[in-house]
Amino acid sequence: MTDRERYLFDLQGFLVIDDVLRRQELETLNEELDEYDLWREPGYEDGFFDIWRNGDRQISAGPLHQFSAPFRQLIGHRRILPYLADLLGSQFRYDHGHAMLMREGGGPFELHGGGVPRQPGIRYEVVDGQIRSELLVVEYALCDVDEGDGGLCVLPGSHKSNFACPSSFVSFEETGPWLKPVPQKAGAAVIFTEALTHGTLPWTADHERRALFCRYTPGHMAFVGRYREDGREEPDGGYPRTSPSGEDDWSLEARRMLEAPYLWNRADTIQRQES
């Protein structure tokens, strides 16, 4: 991260990085989503195990690491890896992820996160000049999100708040200049700490909102734990791993990110090339 980026992330709790995905990557991901047709709620036989809705105009599906190769490759995207190392430490891991779609008229999702009450797993701090976030989110925008369209919104700086967010703010009963929508161009990535108070504004654009969320933790911790994934391999689920895809297309960094959480002698996720 540059000094400018580090300052802005610590100040705001989020950072927008433009042009992370190239045009061909965007086209491929959107074409794959068209094929998946998530609105029909594909079942277990299609490779999706978690489908949930917020009303009839917002749907999410995961786990993302079991989608097709173009989605799996985002987990270790080269443009994002250095940010993850700076914000999570050198031994970070991938925790979980999902796709989210919204149609015009899609409703809000109330604010959550924030510095108070302090919750294990989503804390944020800076020690000796080093940022340390626990659960960290990378949202990839697969469509343009203009001012006024809705979608992701945040309360900048709330990751360092010493007071709880008022309930009238949480429910959007009361809004004001403290609430910031986050405009994005297709191909941008928004990185934010889960400790930042954030939520979803109603979607007002006539095109579909498409966003992909990848969440990461320091290498010694898991946030969601042993959630459901491939019941054919292990009935009680397990941490994300490479085997369910059936394809050997994971990068070395992604393979290290998919290791179960532990601390002792864990290798750095991004390893220096030997000269």
Domain map (residue ranges) of the chain = 3-257
Encode pLDDT of 92-138 as tens digits.
999 999 999 999 999 999 999 998 888 889 999 999 999 999 999 99
Whole-angstrom Cα distance, residue 163 to residue 212?
31
Radius of gyration of the chain (CA): 18
pLDDT value, residue 231: 46
Tell me the mean pLDDT in the region 77-98: 95
> Whole-angstrom Cα distance, residue 187 to residue 20?
6
- The H or E element that residue 210 is part of is strand 209-217
Cα distances (Å, whole numbers) of residue 241 to 68, 118, 181: 14, 30, 34
Buried b / exposed e along 196-222 (16+ C-beta atoms within 10 A): bbbbbbbbebeebbbbbbbbbbbbebb
233 pLDDT more than 90: no
Over residues 150-176, the pLDDT tens digits come to 999 999 999 999 999 999 999 999 999
Q: Give mean pLDDT, residues 220-238.
A: 63
Instruction: Read off the pLDDT band of 248 (50, 70, 90).
Output: low
Please say whether the dihedral angle defined by the alpha carbons of residues 147, 81, 161 and 200, taken in this order, is positive or negative: positive
Closest by Cα among 127, 48, 42 to 87 = 127
Q: Over the stretch 8-40, which tens digit does the pLDDT of each residue have?
A: 999 999 999 999 999 999 999 999 999 999 999
Structure-token pair, residue 192: 């934010």
Other C-beta atoms closer than 10 Å to the C-beta of 93 total: 24
CATH architecture of 3-257: Sandwich (2.60)
In 49-123, DSSP assigns E strands to 50-53, 58-62, 93-102, 109-112
Largest CA distance in the chain: 59
Q: Is the entire prediction scored with pTM above 0.85?
A: yes
d(CA 245, CA 51): 19
pLDDT of residue 271: 83
Cβ(242)–Cβ(258) under 8 Å? yes
111 and 168 Cβ atoms separated by less than 8 Å: no
* Mean pLDDT, the chain, whole residue set: 91
